[in-house]
Structure 1
């Protein structure tokens, strides 16, 4: 490979981070409310802001009153593992995995909880056979595979008369995809993904059947304090009105409130989904115009509209690292290399916090990086 300075003319820079934690347009630190900062989360103002955040989550996501919403420790991982440790073991379990995070829940079920689940797997870019799921089991799945760009098409495959619980890791699906709340018993996410918020906290949403499980079943293994959702056989209701299990970052909470208020300003859930869909369509147009780019998720019906994973002709991990590095050095795009466990490729964030014009502006930069490395 010959050493080049500027192999092609550099395009105009987009104005965004294309990684999976992109801030909403217009965000800046001085726009974050400071009224709860430096105060106890158990103070009147602290509890009121936590409850306001939960109320905003319910409003924007259109979560029915039948479902409880709690802010919990440990990001989405903490929320998923809280559900697994407190609810699994009452009946057989099925785990679905088609990307790295789903595979992580398989590991938890097999190696940590040792509950011998039925494991249904598919390679990156594909889904397992959803019609083959046994709904007499508890079922754990990712609604949107963040590291593979493959999502479930809808909730139709989840049985209405299920005996087991449906437990959905939806951290890169909420605020961008329509969630069938009547099909979901447990849903988890972290606001750092589709809201572009700060990390560390997860959100746990429980339907009535999940609450019934918690109040009627005690697992055989010990539960750490940060996982405990019941006391004396009853749900700790305070967790779902802002009385968190442990000390939250009120700065992260205020940041999430900013993002939720912004989401309301762009049309709420419908507006957020429309923005993500427009971004995904713009990226798809870029892919179709370039014979060296492709989609890891071949089926458009199950292709993510947030974490869109792309294949690059002939690329290996080293090539992708250099490709992403070129763009980052030019402040053109950040964090677009595919996940470390995924096939070598790019992952472009198309969630609602990104403007479509910036997805479109990314195209010439992709060409520039490609031509630079191929010259």
Structure 2
């Protein structure tokens, strides 16, 4: 029998409006530490793949503060907004090093696309969201509520849009419980596998799609992996994939509608210097459509990291095909792409070791190549 999720507690819009503990404003001491760490990283001349946590040195007080902030995303609201880094004082390339160094303090970065890029520029590059291989980060489109492919997604806001581009978040725990009270039959459907497209960004040994449930439980931990755009893409791209049933479509429609309910979802306007961190397993995010400024140097621009966290929760076995590992405190997630070189793997393993994390994410590569893993299963 499926039961309501009680820990962590799902929230609604009013909860966040009345409790601003999800916002942390960087202190002058924090900023001084981060500036010093960036200066050290820039002076080292090391590339991103050569860097370690020690190349972005911060004192123990800030290290502990950051760790506590990230740990709180696993047990409290499921997200945190750090506000106030002086992005206007640095070039785009300097900000990339800053965000990379900060990310290394928090977890292990994960690749995000066909080129195996470990940091993405979130800006309108003329992409098409609702297409067979569409992604949202390179468009100005309104985005549906979804989870990214990692324990945590982080955004560094460099510039905001002329208008629009609000960040919207919704508690998948609260949506689960609301649906359970009204339509438990549809909640049951969402615990069963759906087929997701990899959007053409899979590694050579991977199949182009995989199966995963949208809702899951493991050792008392709830998880929601919902990416409607990828489910729709699988239906459009692969005729051999089973067609969605009317009940599956009804369940997906109700989940989307529940997540977007005005009393449940919460919108925030970003400011330059904001750092948003979201636990993908219990909070889904979306975005309103936006209009950019005309000058390229004034257009909306964010940097995105996907991170595997040492605080990461256990995941159900049904998510192995999506994340490649489901154990807690493991390196997992990301879109592998085609450029995971030995240098990249050595970097990942080194950062995993610095965080005391399990590194077994590539164990299935040979099994895929040998055909011992069915296309839509783990």
Same fold (TM over 0.5): no
TM-score class, shorter-chain normalisation, is under 0.3
TM, length-normalised to structure 1: 0.22
Of Structure 1 and Structure 2, which has the larger fraction of its residues in strand?
A: 2
